[in-house]
Structure 1
Amino acid sequence: MASLAILRDPEATQKLLETILDAPGGRRSLSRLARTCKGMCEAALGVLWKELDSLVPLIGLFPNHLLRRTRRPGLGLTKPPAEEDWSRLLAYGKRVRRIAYNESANNVSASIFPIIDDYRPQTYILPNLTSLTWRADTAAGLERCLLFLTPDVKTVTLDINNKVSNLRDVLKQLSNRTRLHTLSFTSHVALPEDFTDLLHRQNALVKLSLNAPGALSSAIGKWVSSQTKLRSLELDLTARSIVAVEGFFEEIRPRSGYSTPSSVGGTDSGVFSADEPDFSDIRKSALRLTGDAPLRGVCPQLQQLQLTGEAANIAAFVRHLNSRLAVLDLVIDDPPDTNDWHELATTICEQFGGFLQVLKLSAVNSKFIELVRSTSRDVPLKPLSLEYLTFLPNLHRLDIDLPESVIFNDSDVAHIANTCPNIEVLRLCPLAKFTTTPPSLTLEGLVPLITECSRLHTLAVVVDGRTGPRKDEDVFEQASSSRSLMRLHVGHSWIKDPFQVAIALSHLAPHLDILKWFQEKNRAVVEEHAKGWQQVSDFLPHLQYLRLSERRKAAGGSQVEVRERIVEVEVPVMPPKPEVAHQAIDATPLVVDQGVLARPRLHEASVQSSPDTVDKGVEASPAVSSISIDATPIVQDESILVSPVVSEIGIEVQPLTSSTMKPRKHLLQVQLEPRTALVKDLSYLKHSQSDTRRSAGQRKSW
């Protein structure tokens, strides 16, 4: 029973299971735990099904005889499921809180969605869904998200790769069905012109992310400023002009002084003239370019800001904000121009220096960056000066990850130690790789940082550890030893003498718990340096133990010396004390440990609300009348007497004879029928000709 004591605290159980899930093979471990331990089954299943990155696990809950292939449920179903086939899917669907779908992955057949739409036993198969991530390439793929868009959804992430025709309809239904707290919209095509009108009901947004052409329009800026509960904002300023960035604040607040005759940006010249040309747009553009335009504030309640683009555009954007930002995440082009970086750093410190707690700098085109970092080819390295950052008293995390601007000197780290005294996490391009030239930052350069920043617990830098500290230096003083530094990541740092570096680290960070560097398994590294840091990792625990033991003994010896000195002080002679008797009384109160197990009685009550429906049929048959009409045509019989004209022609045929006998004359009579009779009955002519020939023969014989 002691092993199940954790079940008494649901929050502790939840944290433990989430930790197991984040570990390597955590999902499989939780699955085994749910199958083997009855007490942990429900909690483990809740963590397992809380977040899904695909619809495939849900489809696999259908009976096996319905699936086309059991091992690949995404291929679809062989026939529509019956009502009892939905039981498992609905039972596990209640546990799902977040789900994602990617159409380009092509792991779910499109035939699944019409089946869900037509045969689902209830309106939403995921009734407790709160977060929906949908990546679509086609109009049909985008429309499928409406099947899972429950009224309880608070977070929606839409990623559209191509131009779709039904985007306005989907956004309209999205706005009508839900009341979102987080909206992320990413598209490669421009936003609809009436984007703000479609989402006018969404006035409770806490986090907003817009990465699409047209996101810097004045209408979007006015809509963003109207979100009174907005705490986090993400915008993309890539390939935008300064005028376009300034246009985001065009309609937020009317410009003061533009209506005066003497104003540079005004349109009134002081002289009445109806035909005077309007140069207001040109003047406003000139003010924006020169920096003389009046600044205006927007979103004073904003706490987190993430911007992507050039350093100059980001500097122009943050100059308009008057909010107390706590987190600033910037994705800039690398390497930035020196003047633009100087302006950006100065603007950040002036606008948010007293409130900023987290500052992150990363580069665009992360895929190319990872490709360069994982190979052995040289990367053009350039310095990034940190001396432009002024006083940041509340900054506790500084994270810089740029592929080319990776050169930091000892002076930069010393400046950070003076500028950010409360820094806790510091990462200065730990993924940088120096192949031909050594890093500019040395191991001795970390001493000011460790001395001034007493809260520093995580440090990730690339250093040159080939030359260790000398004995005559102040590195081994007690003040230069950190009690808070627990994690150190040295990346591709150079090293020559591992034992000397281990001695220095044992003094600088005697309580160091984690030491990381790049090995052959995860990076293309220099084998010599990797082996050197491996030896440092082997030496360091033993040297740390010796270092801490020496310090404890030194602290204990000093106390003994102090006590001895106190005893050696001369005590004045006092008169003898009277005899007293010591008597001890046991006044220990009786304590009884008594525990009361207070378990609230829980009653589960379920209410099924189903509306009463009434089926009504209305027979609408129009009145029909039958009318019969006698349409027999009038027929007249007429007789025509047709008698053909007959003519008789007599032909005298006298054959030529050579005999001396006297020829006889024969008379041949031919009766010609009319032409119509000759055409219709050819046989008549044949018979007539045969009869004629026969009569001629008979006459000849005569």
Structure 2
Amino acid sequence: MNPETSATHRCLLVNEIFHQIASELYYPDEDEDEDGSGGPPNRSALLPLAQTCKALHDAVLPVLWQDMDDVVPLLKLLPAGSWSEYRHLHGQVIFQVDDPDALDWTRYLHHAQHVRRLHWHNPSTISLLALSVLSTRRPSSSSSSGPLPLLPNLRELTWHETRPQFFPFAHLFLAPSLRDLHVHTARPDPAALMALFEHAAARCKNVETLDLCTDAHGDQEGVLCEGEGGKGVGNALAKLLGGLRALREYSGDVWLPAGCVEALAGSKRLELLGLHMAQREVEAVAKSLKDSDGAVRREWFGALKMLGLNVPRLDESTKTLVGSLQTHDLIDILLVAHHQADTHTLKAHLDAIAHAPSHAALTSVQIDFDTLLQEKMHPPTLDLGAALRPLYALPQIEHLIVRGPLVTLSEHTLADIANAWPALEVLSLISTPIVHPSASAYCPALADLAPLARKCARLHALELHLNAVAVPAEPTVARLMGAEASRYALRCFTAFDAPVANPERVAAYLRRLFPEVREVEYRGAAVFPRDAQVVFEENWRRVQDYCRGKAPPVHPLMRPLNA
């Protein structure tokens, strides 16, 4: 059989088929990395194929150039003599333009059209002067009066540029084809940010994902404050956000002005939202939410599925925000506050969430109170036994995480949780005490885990404060568990500030309740003296060894319940 006329040969001549094969070679198998993210792109596997024949070259070329973390390899396609490289004192080889008049973009553009993703992370391979020349000497677009972006078909741009003098050159890559835009700068310059927002608003109408990270904390909180006459950075960002009709995801650590939040609120497609807001902006937005009759405006985030809200504190304004969402599809809500709320305030927020239009869809709730900002404060005690009650009306809850400096549980809290949420998969209720809890505060014991084992068959991760000194005896275990066989999915258990005296019995008890448990960790927050912490850490390490079967304990608690 003539190989040139075989079915295999004819198939390989189909560009789309070989393009798929080339893509599989370019991206290593995801199973190669433990994190499942896959290895780096494998260009070396494709280069020999690209040199084989014209058909294979045409199929491989788009794959070879689709991901870039440096534009210098492309710039080297400019005519010889128009550029050169020099070695910096620190050893880096840096690209520079020697003759701007000799630039011919034909060969460059033939390859640049294939680039879909650029991940720019403070590259040291191109000079500031070269970027300035490229900014003014780019070819003009045939469809508009402006110059072409350096990568005309770019879909995703990650602009991680912390050098103030380099940051403004992001505009070189703001192509109309952009769908994902990620911007990170350590020291945001208001003028540079405004220019970026204005360029993006003019050129990038189809962005679906926008991420703005400026490390804007503390004294940079007001970097987006409105300027006089509506000419501030915040106003420029609001115009950008208001024009992104296809926007589905917005996140970032930028403290957004009220005008930007209003612009996001009107988005018809926004599904994921991560907001940082200063207190005065929270109050301004809450005030604007209602009309003169006190009714909530209907255009307020109608398509939202995931909300992350980072604010100084929880109060009436934040309750208004979370309670006024018009979406019926919210499944995940995260509230982060710099000051821990008291029981009444958190309960009021959870009650607003439980009565919002999305109450039937919500499956994940996370509340984080930032302990780092409360070292000199005395936060109120937060009783989760009382605060969580409004959420018990939502039986579909799968993930609950609450963390703060002084979080406590009532005696029956775990039993109430187990009865309310049979679909629970992740439960983390953690206090990171800056001030020690009262001696009278309730701490769950091993026996309190039994309701979770009986009722929450899908629970696979559990984090709790625990007193594991007293291990229930066999008759007590049989009574707690009933006649049910152990069939529960818990695999990861983390005990916080947990005294433990008998690792063998504790391991046997945990294996009885959760036969699949393998990862058992201990974490302490200096609640106990250091010598006690050392003992607890070692005992919990032995518990994990026993649960993993390294030294299986022979103990009556390990016998089947019907034995």
Structure-1-length-normalised TM-score = 0.57
The whole-number CA distance in structure 2 between the counterparts of 1:40 and 1:432 is 60
Alpha-carbon contact 1:209-1:233 (below 8 Å) kept: yes
Alpha-carbon contact 1:17-1:30 (below 8 Å) kept: no
Alpha-carbon contact 2:383-2:410 (below 8 Å) kept: no
Q: Which residue of 1 aligns with 2:169?
A: 144
Does 2:132 match 1:114? yes
Aligned pairs (5 A) from 1:102-251: 110-114=128-132, 116-117=134-135, 123-127=148-152, 129-134=154-159, 141-158=166-183, 161-165=187-191, 167-178=193-204, 179-185=206-212, 188-191=223-226, 193=230, 194-195=235-236, 196-197=238-239, 200-209=242-251, 215-217=257-259, 220=260, 222-240=262-280, 243-249=283-289
Which amino acid letter does the alignment assign opposite residue 447 of structure 1? A
Shift of 1:303: 1.6
Q: Secondary structure at the residue paired with 1:315?
A: helix
Q: Secondary structure at the residue paired with 1:321?
A: coil
Q: Secondary structure at the residue paired with 1:311?
A: coil
User: In structure 2, which of residues 512, 517, 524 is the aligned counterpart of residue 512 of structure 1?
Assistant: 517
Alpha-carbon contact 2:275-2:310 (below 8 Å) kept: yes
Which amino acid letter does the alignment assign opposite residue 20 of structure 1? E
Shift of 1:509: 0.9
Q: Which residue of 1 aligns with 2:505?
A: 500
The whole-number CA distance in structure 2 between the counterparts of 1:434 and 1:364 is 14
Aligned pairs (5 A) from 1:436-447: 440-447=443-450
Q: Which has the higher contact order (CA 8 A, sep 6+)?
A: 2
Shift of 1:199: 5.3
Shift of 1:151: 2.1
Per the alignment, do residues 301 and 381 of structure 1 end up closer, same or farther by CA in structure 2, a change over 3 Å counting?
closer
User: In structure 1, which of residues 313, 334, 337 is the aligned counterpart of residue 339 of structure 2?
Assistant: 334
Which amino acid letter does the alignment assign opposite residue 202 of structure 2? N
Shift of 1:533: 1.5
Q: Secondary structure at the residue paired with 1:464?
A: coil
Q: Which residue of 1 aligns with 2:362?
A: 356
User: What does the per-residue CA deviation read over 1:214-262, in whole Å, with 9 as the maximum and x for residues that have no partner?
Assistant: 6224xx4553343211222333333227742323325xxx544xxxxxx
User: In structure 1, which of residues 507, 514, 532 is the aligned counterpart of residue 539 of structure 2?
Assistant: 532
Per the alignment, do residues 112 and 427 of structure 1 end up closer, same or farther by CA in structure 2, a change over 3 Å counting?
farther
Which amino acid letter does the alignment assign opposite residue 196 of structure 2? V
Alpha-carbon contact 1:432-1:462 (below 8 Å) kept: no
User: In structure 2, which of residues 91, 95, 117 is the aligned counterpart of residue 97 of structure 1?
Assistant: 117
Alpha-carbon contact 2:465-2:495 (below 8 Å) kept: yes
Does 2:462 match 1:459? yes
The whole-number CA distance in structure 1 between the counterparts of 2:454 and 2:64 is 45
Aligned residues: 490
Aligned pairs (5 A) from 1:423-442: 423-429=424-430, 440-442=443-445
Shift of 1:535: 1.1
Alpha-carbon contact 2:94-2:127 (below 8 Å) kept: yes
The whole-number CA distance in structure 2 between the counterparts of 1:544 and 1:354 is 45
Which amino acid letter does the alignment assign opposite residue 250 of structure 2? L
The whole-number CA distance in structure 2 between the counterparts of 1:339 and 1:240 is 22
The whole-number CA distance in structure 2 between the counterparts of 1:213 and 1:511 is 44
Q: Secondary structure at the residue paired with 2:400?
A: strand
The whole-number CA distance in structure 2 between the counterparts of 1:155 and 1:97 is 9
Structure-2-length-normalised TM-score = 0.69
The whole-number CA distance in structure 1 between the counterparts of 2:26 and 2:402 is 33
Q: Which residue of 2 aligns with 1:413?
A: 414
Per the alignment, do residues 58 and 335 of structure 1 end up closer, same or farther by CA in structure 2, a change over 3 Å counting?
farther
Which amino acid letter does the alignment assign opposite residue 367 of structure 2? L
The whole-number CA distance in structure 2 between the counterparts of 1:204 and 1:347 is 29
Shift of 1:464: 1.8
The whole-number CA distance in structure 2 between the counterparts of 1:47 and 1:419 is 51
Aligned pairs (5 A) from 1:542-557: 542=549, 543=552, 551=560
Q: Which residue of 1 aligns with 2:144?
A: none
Alpha-carbon contact 2:522-2:537 (below 8 Å) kept: yes
Q: Secondary structure at the residue paired with 2:169?
A: helix
Which amino acid letter does the alignment assign opposite residue 190 of structure 1? C
The whole-number CA distance in structure 2 between the counterparts of 1:87 and 1:72 is 29
Per the alignment, do residues 98 and 493 of structure 1 end up closer, same or farther by CA in structure 2, a change over 3 Å counting?
farther
Shift of 1:208: 3.0
Q: Secondary structure at the residue paired with 2:191?
A: coil
Q: C-alpha root-mean-square deviation of aligned residues, in Å? A: 5.1
* Residue range with higher mean Cα deviation, 206-215 or 146-155: 206-215
Per the alignment, do residues 37 and 428 of structure 1 end up closer, same or farther by CA in structure 2, a change over 3 Å counting?
farther
Which amino acid letter does the alignment assign opposite residue 398 of structure 1? L
The whole-number CA distance in structure 2 between the counterparts of 1:228 and 1:550 is 58
Which amino acid letter does the alignment assign opposite residue 343 of structure 1? A
User: In structure 2, which of residues 280, 297, 309 is the aligned counterpart of residue 307 of structure 1?
Assistant: 309
Alpha-carbon contact 2:406-2:431 (below 8 Å) kept: no
Shift of 1:517: 3.6
Which amino acid letter does the alignment assign opposite residue 68 of structure 1? R
Q: Which residue of 2 aligns with 1:660?
A: none
The whole-number CA distance in structure 1 between the counterparts of 2:435 and 2:514 is 25
Q: Which residue of 1 aligns with 2:5?
A: none
The whole-number CA distance in structure 2 between the counterparts of 1:334 and 1:423 is 28
Alpha-carbon contact 1:56-1:73 (below 8 Å) kept: no
Q: Secondary structure at the residue paired with 1:306?
A: strand
Per the alignment, do residues 417 and 158 of structure 1 end up closer, same or farther by CA in structure 2, a change over 3 Å counting?
same
The whole-number CA distance in structure 2 between the counterparts of 1:80 and 1:124 is 20
Q: Higher Cα Rg: structure 1 or 2?
A: 1
Alpha-carbon contact 1:191-1:213 (below 8 Å) kept: no
The whole-number CA distance in structure 2 between the counterparts of 1:237 and 1:401 is 20
Q: Secondary structure at the residue paired with 1:510?
A: coil
Q: Secondary structure at the residue paired with 2:510?
A: helix
Q: Which residue of 2 aligns with 1:387?
A: 386
Per the alignment, do residues 447 and 311 of structure 1 end up closer, same or farther by CA in structure 2, a change over 3 Å counting?
same
User: What does the per-residue CA deviation read over 1:304-328, in whole Å, with 9 as the maximum and x for residues that have no partner?
Assistant: 2221212113212122223221111
Equivalent pairs: percent with the same residue? Answer: 19
Per the alignment, do residues 491 and 19 of structure 1 end up closer, same or farther by CA in structure 2, a change over 3 Å counting?
farther
Alpha-carbon contact 2:116-2:156 (below 8 Å) kept: no
Specify every segment of 5 or more residues in structure 1 that has no aligned partner in the other structure, as ranges.
1-6, 257-292, 556-702
Q: Secondary structure at the residue paired with 2:128?
A: coil
Q: Which residue of 2 aligns with 1:68?
A: 87
Per the alignment, do residues 8 and 363 of structure 1 end up closer, same or farther by CA in structure 2, a change over 3 Å counting?
same
Q: Secondary structure at the residue paired with 1:322?
A: coil
User: What does the per-residue CA deviation read over 1:2-52, in whole Å, with 9 as the maximum and x for residues that have no partner?
Assistant: xxxxx999999899734535649x88x657x7658999999xx99999877
The whole-number CA distance in structure 2 between the counterparts of 1:435 and 1:225 is 41
Alpha-carbon contact 2:453-2:488 (below 8 Å) kept: no
The whole-number CA distance in structure 1 between the counterparts of 2:403 and 2:26 is 33
Shift of 1:330: 0.9
Q: Which residue of 1 aligns with 2:10?
A: none
Q: Which residue of 2 aligns with 1:643?
A: none
The whole-number CA distance in structure 2 between the counterparts of 1:117 and 1:487 is 53
Shift of 1:496: 1.2
Alpha-carbon contact 2:95-2:127 (below 8 Å) kept: yes
Shift of 1:499: 0.3
Alpha-carbon contact 1:83-1:121 (below 8 Å) kept: no
The whole-number CA distance in structure 1 between the counterparts of 2:84 and 2:554 is 64
Which amino acid letter does the alignment assign opposite residue 216 of structure 1? A
Shift of 1:500: 0.7
